[in-house]
Amino acid sequence: MQDEPTPIELTRAVADFLRSDITPLISGHQAFKLRVAVNILDLVTRQLAQEAGSDAAELERLRALLGADGTVTELNRTLAERIAKGDVDLATPGLAEHLWATTMAKLAVDQPNYASYKRELGRDG
């Protein structure tokens, strides 16, 4: 275990510093590149914060769906192969729910401000 600050705290602090202190000082293409860098730091922060929980949930769904064990990567490969062969389709119990939950977990990291994602979150609550 590492001492504090955590990687999440570090990436958040750097992003906040760049956003608050540096962004107002630059313009043009450099400002655009800075916004891209800040967005990357924000994405990494979200990924660090959510990765363990979303990976564990995805792994459990895949195990239940496939009746097999392995890593998330291995089980996703197996699922893709079974879909490609026609052994698994949207009529397979649990597949649609798994795909939806996986998509929502990925959007929570990649695009948390995406309007359709926010709308779907509102339907869950």
Q: Is residue 40 part of a domain?
A: yes
Domains held by the chain: number: 1
Largest CA distance in the chain: 57
Q: Is residue 78 part of a domain?
A: yes
- Length in residues, the chain: 125
Domain ranges, residue 51: 7-124
Per-residue model confidence as pLDDT tens for the chain (125 residues): 667 899 999 999 999 999 999 999 999 999 999 999 999 999 999 999 998 899 999 999 999 999 999 999 999 999 999 999 999 999 999 999 999 999 999 999 998 888 888 888 888 65
Q: Is residue 99 part of a domain?
A: yes
Is the Cα dihedral 79, 51, 112, 19 positive or negative? negative
**Residue whose tokens read 């097999």:** 68
Q: Is residue 77 part of a domain?
A: yes
The pLDDT score that the predictor gives to residue 125 is 54
**Residue 42 C-alpha from the chain's centroid:** 12
Instruction: With beta carbons less than 8 A apart as the criterion, state whether 71 and 62 touch.
Output: no
The pLDDT score that the predictor gives to residue 114 is 86
Q: Is residue 1 part of a domain?
A: no
Stretch (H or E) spanning 6 = none
Q: Is residue 21 part of a domain?
A: yes
What contacts 24+ positions apart, CB below 8 Å, involve 47-54? 47/109, 48/7, 48/8, 48/11, 49/8, 50/105, 50/108, 50/109, 51/109, 54/105, 54/106, 54/108, 54/109
Q: Is residue 2 part of a domain?
A: no
What's this model's pTM, rounded to 2 decimal places? 0.77
Q: Is residue 94 part of a domain?
A: yes
